[in-house]
Amino acid sequence: MVVKISPQQLQAIRTHAESTYPEECCGLLLGKAVDNQKLVTEVVPTENAWHAAALEWEDDTSNHGKSDRYAIAPQEMLKIQKAARDRSLDIIGIYHSHPNHPAIPSECDRIYAWQQYSYIIVSVVNGECDDVQNWSLDDRHQFQSENLIVTERVESLF
């Protein structure tokens, strides 16, 4: 699978990541899956609603916070999903940032990921975007690198 995104959409993600530093940002990617590609038509920033009680698998959540965890509130996800469907769009991915860490999925990212989504991760170092990588889950629930193509012609493919 390949994800196609416009330069403006990618810049919106980068700007969001830098603006929330040193906390993680998060948001949704709306668009369509066509053939073997996902076409991003809209980037929707969301609030990082993470709190320690959100994680069920960690024994000690006291050392974690919004600087290394993110969550999108379920009611926000449903609201955006409904609005997208009303416009014949789908949630095709999720993006978030890794402050002062590489754009590589964490174990927490893997545990809470869904196979149908693409995951764009932005590394932000000292307040500036350093790297952007795209990932998806394979059949063994392991992240694999996924192509991210920046192109002006995303919306015209519908």
Distance of CA 89 to the CA centre of its chain: 17
Q: Which of 36, 116, 120 is nearest to 81 (CA)?
A: 116
Q: Quote the mean pLDDT of the chain.
A: 92
Average pLDDT over residues 127-153: 96
Helix (H, G, I), strand (E, B) or coil at 154: coil
More confident residue, 2 or 153: 2
Q: What is the pLDDT of residues 45-77, one digit of tens each?
A: 999 999 855 555 555 555 889 999 999 999 999
Residue with tokens 């390949």: 2
Q: What is the pLDDT of residues 82-112, one digit of tens each?
A: 999 999 999 999 999 999 999 999 999 999 9
Q: Using the predicted structure, report yes or no on whether residue 155 has a pLDDT greater than 80.
A: no
Rounded distance, CA 147 to CA 149, Å?
A: 6
Whether 124 has a pLDDT exceeding 70, the answer reads yes
Contact 24, 54 (CB under 8 A): no
pLDDT at 153: 73
User: DSSP code of 35?
Assistant: T
The reply to whether the predicted model has a pTM over 0.85 is: yes
Per-domain residue ranges for the chain?
2-157
CATH architecture, domain defined by 2-157? 3-Layer(aba) Sandwich (3.40)
Q: What dihedral do alpha carbons 155, 129, 28, 69 form, nearest 10°?
A: 170
